[in-house]
Structure 1
Amino acid sequence: MKKQLTLTTAAASAMLILAACGGDNGNTNEAPENGGMNNDSEQEMNNEEAAEDPEGADELAEMGEQDMPEAETDDLPEVVAEVNGEEIERDEFAVTYENMFMQAAQQAQMTGEEIDQQELQEELVQNMVDLELMVQEAEEQGFEASEEEVNELFDELAAQSGMESGDEFVAALEEQGEDVENLQEEAEMQIKVDELIASEAGDVDPSEEEVEEYYEQLVAQQEEMAGGEGGEEMEMPEFEEIQPELEEQLRAEQEAEYSQTLAQELRENADVTIHL
C-alpha cells in the first residue's frame, strides 16, 4: 500500500519544521513567529520586557502555561478506510492527521476557537479517499512521473516553504523522520494526479475578463478590510503588475474545483468504506 501523505501536506510540515526549529541547527531561514531568533534570544527579550512590565510578565507566564492540545489518535481503527480494496491504514492516517492538527492548533491559539477533532478527522479521511481514487484512476490511465518532474516539484514545494532548493526541502523532512524513498513515491503520486486532473479538465486558463473581475473582487475586499475597525489602508498593486500571479491563482482554484468534481464522479462507481 502506497503511503498516503501528500506532498502538499509535506510542504506544510516543512514550514512547521522551520517555525519550530528556528536557529537551532544553524538554518538561516527565519521562523515567522519570532523573526528567526533562537529560543535563547527570544527568552532574553521576554525577560527584559518582564523586568520593565510586571503585568506583562504575568501575561507571558500565563501564555507559557497554556498547554498545546494533542492530536487524538489512540482510538483510531487499524484500517481507517477501504477504497476499491486498497486500505488506508491507521499509521498512514495518523501521520497526516497529526500534521494537519498541528496547523489547526496553531490557528486555534490565535483565534481562540476550539478544535473539533472528530470533524477534522472526518474531513481528512474524505480527502484521503478522494486522493486514493484519483491515484488509482491516474495509474489505470498510465500516467508517469519523470525524475525531472519530481525534482521540479520538490523545488516548487521548497519555495513555498521558504527554502532555497528541493534538496533542502527533502533534507528537512528527512531530519524529521521522513523516508526519502517514500517522499519520492509521494512526489510521483502527486504528479500523476496533477496530470490526470489537467488531462480531464482540459484548458483551464482564465480569460482576461475573468482575471480583471477577480482583481476587482480583491480590491473590494481590501477596501472593506481597511474600512473596518482597526483596519490599515494598504495600496493595492496595479492590475498589470500582478496579472500573472492572479492568472496562476485563478488557474489553481479552477483545477481544485475540477478535482473535487472528478473525485465525486469516481466515487459513484467506487467501493468505499470508512471505519472512523
Structure 2
Amino acid sequence: MFEVETDAHGGTTVSIDGYPQSYVHPGDPELLVFGYVQHLAAVLDALGTGPLAVTHVGGAAMTLPRYVHHTRPGSPQIVLEPDAALTERVRQVLPLPRGHRIRVRPQPGRQGVAALKDDSAAVVVVDAYADSQVPANLTTTEWFADVARVLHEDGVVLMNAADEPDHRHVARVHAALASELPHTLAVAEVDIWKRRRFGNLVLVGSRVPLPVAEIVRQVAKAPFPSRVLDGTALTRALGSAAPFTDHDARPSPPPPTPAGQWRLR
C-alpha cells in the first residue's frame, strides 16, 4: 500500500507500507532528503561528466532518475518499477521533467534486467524493496552475474542495502557482488559503520578499479558524517561471509517498527 503526500514546502513524499521511500521537490531536483540517496548521487557524481546510460531497479517517485536528468541532461534511463498503479499516481502528482529520456517499465528487477541487452548500461542502480525489505532474489551471485552482463566493461552497479547493526546480511550481499564485480566499496553514515543502529549501506561494484578518491570527495559533501570503505578496511568492517545464491538467499531484515524509529544495538 502506498501513500503520496505533498508538504507545505512543495515537496512530495512517497511512502510504502508506512515507510517513506522517496522525496521529490519539483523545483529542486538536487534536494535529496534521504542519506542513502545522497550517497547514491555522490557515487554517480564521481563517474566523470556527461550523459550516462542508467538502469534503475526500483522507481517509486523516481528521485534519482530526476537527479540524473538534471545533472546529466540527455542521459538515457530505464526504470524498472513493477507497481504500475504507483507509477501512474506519481506521474499525476509529479510529472517527469520536459525533455527527459526516462522510460518506465512495469517489471520486477530480475525479469526486467533479464530482458536487457548485453553491454547496455553504464550504471545499474538497485534500490528496490518489497514489504519494506530488499527482495532475496536481488542479493545473489546469479543476480549480480546478470547485472554484470548488462553493464559496460567499465560499468558500475550501486545497491542500496539495509541491515541490522551486525551487518551479517549485507556482508553476504557484498560477497555475492564481489564474486562478479571484484572492485568494491561501501558508503554509509558513521553511526551505521559503528554498528549503532539499523540502517542503509550503499554497495558499489565494478570490473575495473573505482574512482575511490573522487567518491570520498563527493561523499564528504553529505550533511551527515559518512564514510567510504574499500579493500581491507571494508573486509574488516563487514567480516567474512559466504555469498548468497538463488538456493539460500533471504530478504534483508525488516526495518524497525513503528516506522521512523531506529533499532539500536
Same fold (TM over 0.5): no
Compare the two structures and name the one with the higher strand fraction.
Answer: 2
Band of TM-score, shorter chain: under 0.3
Of structures 1 and 2, the one with the larger relative CO (CA 8 A, separation 6+) is 1
Compare the two structures and name the one with the higher helix fraction.
Answer: 1
TM-score (norm 1): 0.24
Higher-Rg member (1/2): 1
